[in-house]
Structure 1
Amino acid sequence: MVSLLPLLHRIWRLFPAQARRRVYEKATTAVSSKATWTEKTPREPAEPFIVAGALSAPTGLGEAARQLLYGLIAGGYRVSAIDLSKDLAQKSMIPLPDLPPPSTGPGTLLLAVQPPNVGHALTLIGRPMLADKLRIGCWVWDLEVLPESWIEQSRLVHALAGPSRFCTETFARHMDLPVRLLRYPIGIAQAPLAPRGKSGTLRFGAAMDLGSTAARKNPLAVLQAYRQAFRHGDAVTLSIKLRDVGADPAMFAQLQTLAATDGPPVEVLSGDFPPARMEEWWRGLDVFVSLHRSEGFGLLPAEAMLRGIPVISTDWSATAEYISLETGWPVPVTLVPVIDATGRYELAGARWAEPDLTAAVEAMKGAARNHEEVSRRGAASVEAAQRIFSLEQLQAGLGLEARIRQHVE
Structure 2
Amino acid sequence: MNGLIDEMNGKEFESIFTIDLFNKIHQMIEKKTLPLENALMLLKHIGYCKELKIICLESFDDSLLSESMNKMIIDENEKKKEEMNEKRLIDLCECYLLLSRWPSSKMDSIYVPCLLKVALKKDETEEAQKEVEMALLALGNIGLWEMKRELYLKETSEIIEYHRELHNLTQLAYQSAWNFLIYRLFTDKSLEEVITNELHFVGEARREFEELSKCVDWKRKEERRKEVKEVKIIWRWLNVIDYYFFSCTLWNEELVGLVNCIVQVLLASRDNHKDICNGCLDILRNTAINRNVKIDDLLKSGAIDAVMEKMNQSTLDDEIMWNGLLFFLNISERLNEKEDDEKEEAEKKTTKRKTFEKMEEEGLEDIMTSLYGVISFLNKNAYRKLSKNACEYLKRRKFEEERRKKTSMRKNK
TM-score normalised over the length of structure 2: 0.29
RCO (CA 8 Å, sep 6+): is it higher in 1 or 2? 1
Larger Rg: 2
User: Which of the pair is proportionally richer in strand?
Assistant: 1
TM-score normalised by L of structure 1: 0.29
